[in-house]
Amino acid sequence: MVSKNDLVKELYPEDLYGYAEGLTDGEVEVLQEVREALETHVRPVITDYWEKADFPFAEFKKVTDVGIMNNPKLYVGREGERKPRELYTAFLYLELARFDASIATFYTVHGGLCYNTILLGGNERQIEEFAPKLASFEWQGCFGLTEPDHGSDIAGGLATSARREGNNWILNGEKRWIGGADTADVIPIFARDVEDNRIKCFIVRKGAEGYSADPIPHKGSLRAIRNGHIVMKDVVVPEADRLENINGFRDVSRILVRTRADVAHIAMGISAGAFVAALKYVKQREQFGKSIASFQLVQEKLSRMQANVVANIGYSVRIAQLQEEGRELMLNSALAKMHNSLNMRETVALAREVCGGNGITLETDVMRFFADAEAIYTYEGTHEVNALIVSRELTGIGAFV
């Protein structure tokens, strides 16, 4: 029988320092099943879906059927918990993103942003209603914060309005870039209460009257996930579907602290995926009668990519450990997101470079990672916004405006 440590080496050869050895046997088994489901069901279709700008719902369902959020193997010794361990989550993102960034993004919107919004913002009744169905993927979730006119300045600028009328709230406004907005069952919408000016969160349910979401066309990055432009005209949400623990942007930030770390993990996974694909290619390609992997200039790039990947895994694993201990800080998440995204951007460029002309086709995989990295660099706080968060801590001076 293969030992756990041998198995993780086989699954993640790019994890040179062996961070994955901290996973439990059950967690590794689930990740191995995820790998098999991705390779068997999603691999044959992913480039076609990327090209036609659509999400492979039926094929991805085979991956979620593994129980990526709720498989009992993830809860051994921690029965009653609502979430798998953070280290597993980091490696789940590695697994998904080293395969495809749109798949990982779909998951982060559902299992990261939406799920954490329910857990952190909902009362017991709401958590009981939504969390199990989200964890089993019976319901699809999304996350409506960004607006057409407010991205980086959303904290102060959020313009979607919520007006209370008896036992209901009336929502008006627009949201942009919302992953899965046209298919989701559970749509948390952040809106400003016209009475007290505070940001609150309302669960809009699929089919709500006055809600429409059109996929944003002509994207050149993350083409395999549909990002919606939402318009809400007098959408009615009952008070019972307002998440009562969200009463201002400070509460939204508690969600973003977690999800920013998730996106650092996605950047780690993309770096790993691009590196692994590039390494495979250079070993096969010959020029000047020799394998291009034998050229010193190519080898230097391979080493740089490998170093970036190990550094990114290191950041992700440490932040996962801190989260597990309840030591979550926006500074840590912002630093990890910033660091891993910068390294990712360099890694995908090097990966594309060593694949030459074939590196600009979808055949070698690196082009998908190269194009998709741009969206990850921007979402969940742009590079600049995360850098400003880090430097605010360093200097004590907020330099956003």
Ligand X SMILES: Cc1cc2nc3c(=O)[nH]c(=O)nc-3n(C[C@H](O)[C@H](O)[C@H](O)COP(=O)(O)OP(=O)(O)OC[C@H]3O[C@@H](n4cnc5c(N)ncnc54)[C@H](O)[C@@H]3O)c2cc1C
Using CB under 6 A, which of 385, 390, 391, 392 touches ligand X? 385
The values of phi and psi at residue 237, to 5°, are -125, 125
Largest CA distance in the chain: 78
Q: Which stretch binds ligand X (CB under 6 A): 87-95, 115-123, 250-258, 375-383?
A: 375-383
Side-chain half-sphere exposure of 272, counting CA atoms within 13 A: 30
- Smallest gap from residue 114 Cβ to ligand X (A): 9
Residues 186-225 that bind ligand X (CB under 6 A): 222
Q: Beta strands 168-179 and 286-287: pairing type?
A: unpaired
| Cβ proximity to ligand X, 119 vs 375, nearer residue | 375
349 binding ligand X? (CB under 6 A): no
Q: Six-digit token pair at 141?
A: 């979730």
Q: Which stretch binds ligand X (CB under 6 A): 80-88, 144-152, 260-268, 353-361?
A: 144-152
| 227-238: strand order across its sheet | 211-215, 227-238, 168-179, 161-165, 186-193, 199-205, 242-243
Task: Please tell me what DSSP assigns to residue 65.
Answer: T
378 binding ligand X? (CB under 6 A): yes
Hey, is 173 helix, strand or coil? strand
- Smallest gap from residue 385 Cβ to ligand X (A): 5
| Cβ proximity to ligand X, 91 vs 379, nearer residue | 379
- Smallest gap from residue 380 Cβ to ligand X (A): 6
How far is CA 346 from its chain centroid? 19
Residue nearest to ligand X (CB): 151
Spell out the residues 6+ positions from residue 203 whose beta carbon is closer than 8 angstroms to its own: 126, 130, 186, 187, 188, 189, 237, 241, 242, 243
DSSP string over 80-98: T-SS--HHHHHHHHHHHHT
| Cβ proximity to ligand X, 66 vs 142, nearer residue | 142
Using CB under 6 A, which of 20, 96, 145, 351 touches ligand X? 145
How far is CA 150 from its chain centroid? 21
390 binding ligand X? (CB under 6 A): no
Query: Contact 235/211 with Cβ under 8 angstroms?
Result: yes
143 binding ligand X? (CB under 6 A): yes
146 binding ligand X? (CB under 6 A): yes
320 binding ligand X? (CB under 6 A): no
Q: Which stretch binds ligand X (CB under 6 A): 175-183, 233-241, 265-273, 338-346?
A: 175-183
179 binding ligand X? (CB under 6 A): yes
400 binding ligand X? (CB under 6 A): yes
344 binding ligand X? (CB under 6 A): no
Task: Please tell me what DSSP assigns to residue 251.
Answer: H
- Smallest gap from residue 137 Cβ to ligand X (A): 17
What is the three-state SS of 185-244? CEEEEEEEECCCCCEEEEEEECCCCCEEEEECCCCCCCCCCCEEEEEEEEEEEEHHHEEC
| Cβ proximity to ligand X, 256 vs 309, nearer residue | 256
Between CA 159 and CA 193 the distance in angstroms is 10
Q: Which stretch binds ligand X (CB under 6 A): 43-51, 71-79, 89-97, 141-149?
A: 141-149
391 binding ligand X? (CB under 6 A): no
DSSP string over 138-166: SS-B--B--BTTBSTTHHHH---EEEEET
- Smallest gap from residue 399 Cβ to ligand X (A): 7
- Smallest gap from residue 129 Cβ to ligand X (A): 22
Q: Which stretch binds ligand X (CB under 6 A): 133-141, 155-163, 174-182, 204-212?
A: 174-182
Within 10 angstroms of residue 311's Cβ, the number of other Cβ atoms is 16
Residues 220-279 that bind ligand X (CB under 6 A): 222, 227
Number of residues that bind ligand X (CB under 6 A): 20
Taking residues 20 to 59 in sequence order and writing x for each that binds ligand X by CB under 6 A, - otherwise, the string is: ----------------------------------------
89 binding ligand X? (CB under 6 A): no
Hey, is 257 helix, strand or coil? helix
Give the residues lining the site for ligand X (CB under 6 A): 109, 143-146, 151-152, 177-179, 222, 227, 375, 378-380, 382, 384-385, 400
